[in-house]
Amino acid sequence: MFRKGIVFTGSGGQGVITASIIMAEAAALYGGINAVQAQAYGPEARGGATRADVILSDEVIRYPKVIKPHVLVCLTQLAYDKYIHLIRPGGTLLTDIFHVRQLQQADARTFNLDMYREVMDKIGQPIVFNICVLGALLGLDELVKPEHILKVLETKVPKGMIETNKQALELGLDLARKAKG
Amino acid sequence: MFRKGIVFTGSGGQGVITASIIMAEAAALYGGINAVQAQAYGPEARGGATRADVILSDEVIRYPKVIKPHVLVCLTQLAYDKYIHLIRPGGTLLTDIFHVRQLQQADARTFNLDMYREVMDKIGQPIVFNICVLGALLGLDELVKPEHILKVLETKVPKGMIETNKQALELGLDLARKAKG
């Protein structure tokens, strides 16, 4: 049985929810596995940290919330501080250096990558930061094929922005591969 | 007659449109002047640069779009490259150093402030970047009173986030005052 829980966390405007939707669609529409995507609105989301959950499985998914994520993404310090305790022992933690400055001890493969800065240096468009994050995630753990992410992007992104999104995805993949060594 | 055109530009997720709405509401609801706020959706907005216009006037405002802004805010390189030609000669240009790297010659008071980095260093929450930008803008040119911005924020922001927004506004005011010397 294959089952992975991924939790994306960060702040409004960083594209956390969009990233989770793109991942779930890529898995379900093109990867041939079951995917559920969910996020909380209301009090939980009003403290300044956004959270979106994705579950990928080859079986039916009955409960849409991830309890102990195999993969946790934290794009702000606040989100990190709030959600780091969730991570499954031995899981994969992906954070952004520019936004998460203080890391605690955690029983996880930890990758604090310089994603936002690289996006600004090489692409110059903050809107594709979340796509770079997705790329990095897939570079660390091929949960979904990058080409399936691209297929979803083609249905969601204006034509003139496809190339920029592709660049961001590849930048993330590269950063993760280099970090893995 | 008092009349000022302000154009906010940047990328999705930076809070450009929200900043313009907050400014217009502060002026109209608490500042006792007329304000119009507008943005384009559709092809114009799909090239990766978001634009929102505000006009403040003590007379009736008949046309909601700013032709030659007195104040231009550019929060990405793409937005800067696309909109810098608009600025009114002698106008005020506010950009963010981390996101706008290459400035051209322009007949404008130019302030390229380190707003995003300061927000991350001092507050750690990217969602209030746009409020820091608003603060900087008011520090350069008191178009609207900071306390009127705070009054609007109180109606829009969850209670637990008011203090963080206030910090961001003050950070922007400080950065602008220091830059003005």
In three-state form (DSSP H/G/I as H, E/B as E, the rest C), the secondary structure along B46-78 is HHCCEEEEEEEECCCCCCCCCCCCCEEEECCHH
Query: How many domains does chain A contain in total?
Result: 1
Three-state DSSP class for residue B74: strand
pLDDT above 60 (res B45): no
Per-residue pLDDT, A165: 97
SS (H, E, C) chain A: CCEEEEEEEECCCCCHHHHHHHHHHHHHHHCCCEEEEEECCCHHHHHCCEEEEEEEECCCCCCCCCCCCCEEEECCHHHHHHHHHHCCCCEEEEEECCCCCCCCCCCEEEEEECHHHHHHHHCCCHHHHHHHHHHHHHHHCCCCCHHHHHHHHHHHCCHHHHHHHHHHHHHHHHHHHHHHC
**CA pair distance B93, B107, nearest whole angstrom:** 9
DSSP assignment letter at B19: H
By percentage, how much of chain B surpasses pLDDT 90?
A: 86
Residue of A78, A97, A102, A125 to mutate, interface with B, max B Cβ within 10 Å: A125
Interchain contact B32–A (C-beta under 8 A): no
In this structure, chain A runs to a length of 181
Per-residue pLDDT, B44: 57
Tell me if ipTM is over 0.95. Answer: no
DSSP H helical ranges for chain B: 16-25, 77-83, 115-122, 129-140, 146-156, 162-180
Residue with tokens 């001890």: A105
How far is C-alpha A127 from the geometric centre of its chain's CA atoms?
A: 14
Interchain contact B14–A (C-beta under 8 A): yes
By percentage, how much of chain A surpasses pLDDT 90?
A: 86
By percentage, how much of chain B surpasses pLDDT 70?
A: 96
Closest-approach residue (CA) in chain A for B158: A46
Q: Using the beta-carbon criterion (under 8 Å), do A76 and B126 form an inter-chain contact?
A: yes
Q: Using the beta-carbon criterion (under 8 Å), do A77 and B124 form an inter-chain contact?
A: yes
Mean pLDDT of B32-49: 79
Interchain contact B95–A (C-beta under 8 A): no
Cβ neighbours of A98 in B, within 8 Å:
120
Q: What is the CATH number of the domain that holds B119?
A: 3.40.920.10
Other CB atoms within 10 A of residue A160 CB: 11
Per-residue pLDDT, B42: 61
Mean pLDDT of B124-140: 96
Q: Using the beta-carbon criterion (under 8 Å), do A127 and B98 form an inter-chain contact?
A: no
pLDDT above 90 (res A46): no
Q: Select the residue of B11, B46, B47 nearest A126 (Cβ to Cβ).
A: B11
Of A36-45, A109-118, B32-41, B148-157, the one with minimum mean pLDDT is A36-45
Per-residue pLDDT, A43: 58
Per-residue pLDDT, B139: 97
Mean pLDDT of A48-58: 92
pLDDT in tens, A75-107: 999 999 999 999 999 999 999 999 999 999 989
pLDDT above 60 (res B147): yes
Q: Select the residue of A47, A99, A124 nearest B120 (Cβ to Cβ).
A: A99
Residue with tokens 């000022």: B4
pLDDT in tens, A19-38: 999 999 999 999 999 999 99
Three-state DSSP class for residue A102: coil
- Token pair of B65 as six digits: 């779009």
pLDDT above 70 (res B43): no
pLDDT in tens, B62-100: 888 899 999 999 999 999 999 999 999 999 999 999 999
Residue of A76, A127, A156 to mutate, interface with B, max B Cβ within 10 Å: A127
The pLDDT confidence band at residue A42, using thresholds 50, 70 and 90, is: low
Q: Select the residue of A15, A46, A126 nearest B99 (Cβ to Cβ).
A: A126
Task: Give the CA-trace dihedral at A150, A152, A155, A161, to 10 degrees.
Answer: -40
What pTM did the predictor assign?
Answer: 0.92
pLDDT above 80 (res B46): no
Q: Look up the domain containing A134 and give its range.
A: 3-180
Q: Select the residue of B14, B48, B164 nearest A164 (Cβ to Cβ).
A: B48
